[in-house]
């Protein structure tokens, strides 16, 4: 058996941990002080441009300093924030927004509707390099009247406001940014968020100080230190030694071991990240029987139970229970016998199997490779022989954008606004560079939903699409991931379903 | 003659660096992964892809991109990092001192530990002491640096938590530094409180890096010493009444250390390379850690900049070793 470095590190840390006979120093949250071992670095302070703007894991750091245009609660529901009201006019040709009054930037200057308009215009300006510019350009010609803003709809996008709680949906300080420039902003960023940046050493740590004037109330911890600890074994050591009081994204085995220790506790919830297998409309996958058999042969409950130690939730569509278009009536049965019959109808059997390649990452998501290994084993029993090809995630992006993925390819998909456009929509709509399955029948069903103005009809439409996809077996949804957080018993942690770890949601126990 | 040798050496260095630049440029562009594809959010269209490609200059041919980049490098402009959106050269020079400090401290530890055990082993040759040193150095050599890192984290980070597991310096401290050489600057300023904090962060990664190198130094130097100790001029020194320690330190060490010096030079370049994984393990704020992020993010300009600076370091270290070798070996100096 070959063991790669990542596995070796994991096994070594686990073995060393088990061998540890002394009890670890109990993690203590000193009065007003909180230290978090975070799993990613923060490359840039501009939450609206560059790759970090579309990295979901970093959003928790941004949201500590900047407010999103519309707030989102831990259960993914939307709530008044810097905008207290928002909406469309009846014929969806105008948007209206009401700006919260009395809010201050971290430098003490007043937050104004001009900041909102400037941020929206900047986000929609292609010269700034905002990767989500295609959303923000859909509304322009903003007008300010007191604390009310109106804008003209260029092209109706039903999720325009939902994106205000998602990637690049942040308000930045117009006057300050114009004064200090992009470089100055990187050195000393200010927002209206619950925490102010006190000190930042790139790739090392971030010191935050509670914003006493925060409109949502001063956060419980006065000082927060976020250490960027990208190695999972090191994060385990950080929490075990008491050097940090909170950490996240560690192996489930380590989670179980650590929360059994004195002084430590854990929180693990299903978040908006899912594991799935893209099917590509080529080779054996063009045969509906093969696709349906490939889906029916997989025992997702077993994957969760055996590989993910019971953490996570099997799913049958690309929607999770927290999403707007989740339909619990759509079920895909696990039925290996029926899978065999379907394959037999197409001339395949265990002796003459349907053959194709399945691509997967290894170590990018918890047990990704192991899950694919198990699935290939389940497929083999019904008459599908899949050859595993391991690639790096960068390669997956490149192949998917070029529509060159193998007939089957493992991936994880995040959708923290819970809208069907950002789950089923972009993953399955042929013209999207993110989709793998590209056929006219599906595109004809999805196409009209992009501009549907009746919200109830729109959601019902997406549910119907999900049902059709499940029947046709155009994709293999696997599981909704659970995010493990280990923390000192001296700290209460509220998990956000988006997966963002927010110090503002933590309080002393 | 000397000038001619210097110019030839300089030319060789430039050709080496150019070769490295070409190889790195070509390899990372034909390697799997596309920074623009990685940055595409849901809903991005082909127009968005084209716009981002043009923004980062990736819409041109590889040859065009190479010469644009090379002309910038010649002018001291290494481009802008895609992920960090800052000047590459500035980023590299901001991080390089941390890595150099770590590597130099590790080298000092390795030379001290390796040299001491070599001398002790040579002095006590044929005894249990030498056997013990051989066993210890064998163990140190057979365990890779990142695994030493894990062992040290468990021992001195978790079980007896006297050192810090991650970072370069405590976030709570006010840092009065004007250079990025925090450790050396704290010594110069006699700010031993800061020195101790920096050491608490640096010791474990430095030891992890130093142990395998110390073992190599110990084995090679001990072997050389043992050979030299049998030569006539050393025997004569013993006859004159010098103690064994005096014989080793005064007579044998200078000649025996020449091959070790060459080895140390070569190994120092490996040591700098080794910082990549060790810095990651300890979340140490150096160039190696940044290199891994650059690779993960497919940050092409940053990868190119880091590799070129690493290559320059390797070339300069080799040059320094050659010069020191010539300095210590008169035959080469006059040859």
* H, E, C per residue of A90-144: CCCCEEEEEECCCCECCCCCECCHHHHHHHHHHHHCHHHCCCCHHHHCCEEEEEE
Q: Which of B55, B159, B164 sits opposite A20 (nearest CB)?
A: B159
A81-133 per-position pLDDT tens digit = 999 999 999 999 999 999 999 999 999 999 999 999 999 999 998 888 788 88
CA distance B91 to B105: 22
Which positions in chain A touch B40 (Cβ < 8 Å)? 54, 131, 397, 401, 433-434
Q: Do A397 and B157 touch (CB under 8 A)?
A: no
Q: Do A395 and B48 touch (CB under 8 A)?
A: no
CA distance A189 to A206: 12
CA distance B202 to B275: 12
Residue A438: the pLDDT is 95
Q: Which of A204, A231, A237 sits opposite B280 (nearest CB)?
A: A231
CA distance A170 to A176: 15
For the segment A357-367, the average pLDDT, to the nearest whole number, is 89
Prediction ipTM score: 0.71
Q: What are the sequence ranges of the domains in chain B?
A: 1-88, 95-332
In angstroms, the separation between the Cα of residue A340 and the nearest Cα of chain B is 36
* pLDDT tens for chain B, residues 1 to 335: 667 777 887 888 888 888 888 888 887 777 666 667 666 666 667 777 777 777 777 788 888 888 888 888 888 888 888 888 788 999 999 999 999 999 999 999 999 999 999 989 888 888 898 899 999 999 888 888 888 999 999 999 888 888 998 899 998 888 888 999 999 999 999 999 999 999 999 999 999 999 999 999 999 988 888 888 777 787 777 777 777 777 788 777 877 888 888 888 888 888 888 888 899 899 898 999 899 888 887 888 899 899 888 888 888 888 887 777 777 666 655 54
Which one of A26, A27, A203 makes the best mutation probe of the B interface by having the most chain B beta carbons within 10 Å?
A: A203
Tokens representing B223 are 């072997």
A18-51 per-position pLDDT tens digit = 333 333 344 444 558 999 999 988 888 999 987 7
Residue A12: the pLDDT is 45
Query: Which chain B residue lies closest to A223 (C-alpha atoms)?
Result: B172
Residue B334: the pLDDT is 52
CATH superfamily of domain region A271-480: Dipeptide-binding Protein; Domain 3 (3.10.105.10)
| Segments of B124-227 assigned E as strands | none
H/E stretch holding A378:
helix A368-382
Which positions in chain A touch B289 (Cβ < 8 Å)? 203
Q: Do B34 and A401 touch (CB under 8 A)?
A: yes
Q: Which of B37, B150, B157 sits opposite A9 (nearest CB)?
A: B150
Which of A487, A491, A486, A485 has the alpha carbon at shortest distance from A507? A491
Are B15 and B313 in contact, with CB atoms under 8 Å apart? no
CA distance B315 to B321: 10
Q: Which of B83, B94, B292 sits opposite A51 (nearest CB)?
A: B83
CA separation (Å) from B313 to A133, B13, B16, B18, B318?
A: 42, 11, 12, 14, 9
Which positions in chain B touch A186 (Cβ < 8 Å)? 85-86
Which one of A26, A51, A198 makes the best mutation probe of the B interface by having the most chain B beta carbons within 10 Å?
A: A51
Residue B151: the pLDDT is 92
CA distance A428 to A325: 15
Which positions in chain A touch B94 (Cβ < 8 Å)? 202
Residue B297: the pLDDT is 78
In angstroms, the separation between the Cα of residue B333 and the nearest Cα of chain A is 45
Q: Do A51 and B285 touch (CB under 8 A)?
A: no
Q: Which overall architecture, per CATH, does domain B95-332 show?
A: Orthogonal Bundle (1.10)
In angstroms, the separation between the Cα of residue A149 and the nearest Cα of chain B is 26
Q: Do B147 and A12 touch (CB under 8 A)?
A: yes
Q: Which of A51, A183, A207 sits opposite B297 (nearest CB)?
A: A51
CA distance A227 to A220: 19
Residue A20: the pLDDT is 38
Q: Do A234 and B34 touch (CB under 8 A)?
A: no
Which positions in chain B touch A54 (Cβ < 8 Å)? 39-41
In angstroms, the separation between the Cα of residue A206 and the nearest Cα of chain B is 8
More confident residue, A409 or B20: A409
Query: Which chain A residue lies closest to B38 (C-alpha atoms)?
Result: A397
For the segment A247-254, the average pLDDT, to the nearest whole number, is 93
The third-level CATH classification (topology) of the domain covering A71-171 is: Dipeptide-binding Protein; domain 1 (3.90.76)
Which positions in chain B touch A126 (Cβ < 8 Å)? 51
Query: Which chain B residue lies closest to A52 (C-alpha atoms)?
Result: B83
Which one of A131, A391, A413 makes the best mutation probe of the B interface by having the most chain B beta carbons within 10 Å?
A: A131
CA separation (Å) from A106 to A178, A469, B78?
A: 16, 48, 34
Q: CB count, 10 Å around CB of B39? A: 25
Residue B224: the pLDDT is 87
Which one of A397, A406, A438 makes the best mutation probe of the B interface by having the most chain B beta carbons within 10 Å?
A: A397
Handedness of CA A181, A172, A141, A56 (dihedral sign): positive
Residue B186: the pLDDT is 93
Q: Do A207 and B43 touch (CB under 8 A)?
A: no
Residue A127: the pLDDT is 81
Query: Which chain A residue lies closest to B287 (C-alpha atoms)?
Result: A203
Pairs of residues, one from chain A and one from chain B, whose beta carbons lie less than 8 Å apart: 187
Q: Which of B82, B161, B290 sits opposite A25 (nearest CB)?
A: B161
Q: What are the sequence ranges of the domains in chain A?
A: 71-171, 271-480
Which positions in chain B touch A398 (Cβ < 8 Å)? 32-34, 37
CA distance A73 to A66: 15
- What percent of chain A has a predicted confidence (pLDDT) above 90? 80
Q: Do B283 and A227 touch (CB under 8 A)?
A: yes
Which positions in chain B touch A49 (Cβ < 8 Å)? 85
Which of A451, A449, A424, A428 has the alpha carbon at shortest distance from A440? A428
CA distance A304 to B59: 43
Q: Which of B35, B83, B154 sits opposite A52 (nearest CB)?
A: B83
Q: Do B37 and A13 touch (CB under 8 A)?
A: no
Q: Which of A44, A135, A243 sits opposite B164 (nearest CB)?
A: A243
Which positions in chain B touch A22 (Cβ < 8 Å)? 159
Residue A478 has pLDDT above 70, yes or no: yes
Which of B78, B86, B99 has the alpha carbon at shortest distance from B305? B78
More confident residue, A160 or B261: A160
Task: Tell me the average pLDDT of chain A.
Answer: 91
Q: Do B283 and A132 touch (CB under 8 A)?
A: no
Are A356 and A318 in contact, with CB atoms under 8 Å apart? no
Which one of B283, B293, B298 makes the best mutation probe of the A interface by having the most chain A beta carbons within 10 Å?
A: B283
Residue A10: the pLDDT is 46
In angstroms, the separation between the Cα of residue A338 and the nearest Cα of chain B is 35
Which positions in chain A touch B45 (Cβ < 8 Å)? 134, 431, 433
Residue A193 buriedness (CB in 10 A; 0-12 / 13-18 / 19+): buried
Residue A345 has pLDDT above 70, yes or no: yes
Residue A5: the pLDDT is 45
Query: Which chain A residue lies closest to B144 (C-alpha atoms)?
Result: A5
Query: Which chain B residue lies closest to A427 (C-alpha atoms)?
Result: B42
Q: Do A204 and B285 touch (CB under 8 A)?
A: yes
Which positions in chain A touch B165 (Cβ < 8 Å)? 229, 234, 237-238, 241, 243
Residue A266: the pLDDT is 96
Residue A193 has pLDDT above 70, yes or no: yes
Tokens representing B10 are 């300089």
């Amino acid at each position: 058996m070959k063991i790669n470095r990542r596995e070796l590190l994991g096994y070594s840390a686990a073995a060393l941990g088990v061998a540890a006979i002394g009890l670890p120093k109990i993690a203590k949250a000193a009065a007003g002080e909180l230290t978090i071992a975070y799993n990613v670095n923060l490359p840039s302070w501009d939450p609206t441009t560059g790759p970090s703007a579309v990295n979901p894991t970093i959003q928790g750091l941004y949201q500590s300093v900047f407010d999103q245009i519309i707030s989102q609660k831990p259960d993914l529901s939307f709530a008044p924030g810097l905008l207290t009201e928002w909406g469309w006019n009846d014929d969806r040709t105008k948007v209206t927004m009401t700006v919260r009054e009395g809010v201050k930037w971290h430098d003490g200057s007043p937050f104004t509707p001009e900041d909102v308009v400037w941020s929206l215009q900047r986000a929609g300006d292609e010269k700034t390099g905002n990767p989500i510019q295609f959303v923000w350009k859909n509304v322009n010609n903003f007008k300010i009247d007191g604390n009310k803003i109106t804008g003209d709809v260029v092209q109706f996008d039903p999720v325009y406001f939902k994106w205000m709680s998602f990637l690049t949906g942040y308000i930045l300080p117009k006057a300050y940014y114009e004064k200090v420039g992009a470089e100055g902003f990187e050195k000393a960023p200010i927002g209206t968020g619950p925490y102010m940046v006190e000190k930042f050493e790139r790739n090392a740590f971030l010191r935050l100080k509670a914003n006493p004037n925060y409109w949502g109330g001063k956060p419980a911890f006065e000082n927060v230190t976020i250490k960027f600890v990208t190695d999972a074994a090191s994060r385990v050591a950080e929490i075990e030694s008491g050097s940090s009081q909170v950490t996240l994204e560690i192996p489930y085995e380590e989670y179980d071991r650590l929360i059994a220790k004195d002084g430590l506790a854990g929180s693990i919830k299903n978040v908006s990240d899912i594991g799935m297998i893209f099917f590509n409309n080529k080779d054996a996958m063009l045969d509906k029987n093969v696709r349906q058999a490939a889906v029916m042969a997989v025992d997702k409950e077993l994957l969760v139970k055996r590989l993910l130690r019971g953490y996570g939730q099997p799913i049958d569509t690309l929607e999770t229970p927290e999403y707007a278009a989740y339909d619990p009536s759509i079920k895909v049965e696990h039925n290996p016998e029926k899978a065999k019959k379907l394959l037999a109808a197409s001339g395949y059997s265990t002796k003459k199997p349907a053959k194709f390649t399945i691509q997967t990452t290894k170590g990018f998501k918890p047990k990704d490779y192991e899950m694919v290994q198990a699935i290939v084993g389940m497929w083999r029993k019904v008459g599908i022989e899949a050859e595993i090809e391991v690639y790096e995630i960068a390669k997956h992006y490149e192949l998917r954008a070029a529509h060159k993925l193998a007939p089957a390819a493992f991936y994880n998909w995040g959708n923290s606004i819970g809208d069907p456009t950002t789950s089923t929509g972009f993953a399955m709509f042929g013209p999207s560079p993110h989709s793998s399955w590209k056929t006219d029948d599906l595109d004809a069903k999805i196409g009209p939903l992009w501009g549907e103005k009746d919200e109830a009809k729109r959601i019902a439409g997406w549910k119907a699409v999900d049902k059709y996809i499940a029947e046709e077996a155009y994709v293999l949804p696997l599981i909704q991931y659970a995010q493990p957080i280990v923390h000192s018993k001296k700290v209460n942690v509220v998990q956000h379903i988006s997966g963002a770890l927010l110090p503002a949601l933590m309080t002393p126990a | 003659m000397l000038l001619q040798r210097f110019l030839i050496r300089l030319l060789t260095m430039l050709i080496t660096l150019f070769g490295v630049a070409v190889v790195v440029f070509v390899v990372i562009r034909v390697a799997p992964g596309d920074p623009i594809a990685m940055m595409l959010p849901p809903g991005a269209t082909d127009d968005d892809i084209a716009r981002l490609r043009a923004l980062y200059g990736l819409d041109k041919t590889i040859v065009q991109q190479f010469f644009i980049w090379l002309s910038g490098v010649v002018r001291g402009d290494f481009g802008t990092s895609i992920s960090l959106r800052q000047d590459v050269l500035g980023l590299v020079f901001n991080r390089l001192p941390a890595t150099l400090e770590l590597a130099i401290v590790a080298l000092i530890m390795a030379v001290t530990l390796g040299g001491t055990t070599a001398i002790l082993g040579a002095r006590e040759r044929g005894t249990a002491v030498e056997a013990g040193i051989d066993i210890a150095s064998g163990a140190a050599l057979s365990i890779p640096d990142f695994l030493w890192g894990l062992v040290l984290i468990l021992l001195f980070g978790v079980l007896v938590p006297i050192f810090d597991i991650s970072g370069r310096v405590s976030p709570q401290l006010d840092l009065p530094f004007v250079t990025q050489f925090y450790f050396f600057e704290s010594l110069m300023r006699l700010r031993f409180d800061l020195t101790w904090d920096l050491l608490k962060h640096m010791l474990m990664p430095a030891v992890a890096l130093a142990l395998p190198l110390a073992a190599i130094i110990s084995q090679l130097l001990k072997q050389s010493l043992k050979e030299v100790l049998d030569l006539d001029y050393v025997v004569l020194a013993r006859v004159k009444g010098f103690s064994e320690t005096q014989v080793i330190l005064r007579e044998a060490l200078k000649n025996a250390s020449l091959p070790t010096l060459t080895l140390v030079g070569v190994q120092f370049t490996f040591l700098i390379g080794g910082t990549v994984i060790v810095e990651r393990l300890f979340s140490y704020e150096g160039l190696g850690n940044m290199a891994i992020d650059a690779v993960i993010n497919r940050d092409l300009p940053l990868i190119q900049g880091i590799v070129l600076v690493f290559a320059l370091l390797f070339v300069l270290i080799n040059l320094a070793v050659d010069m020191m070798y010539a300095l210590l070996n008169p035959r080469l100096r006059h040859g």
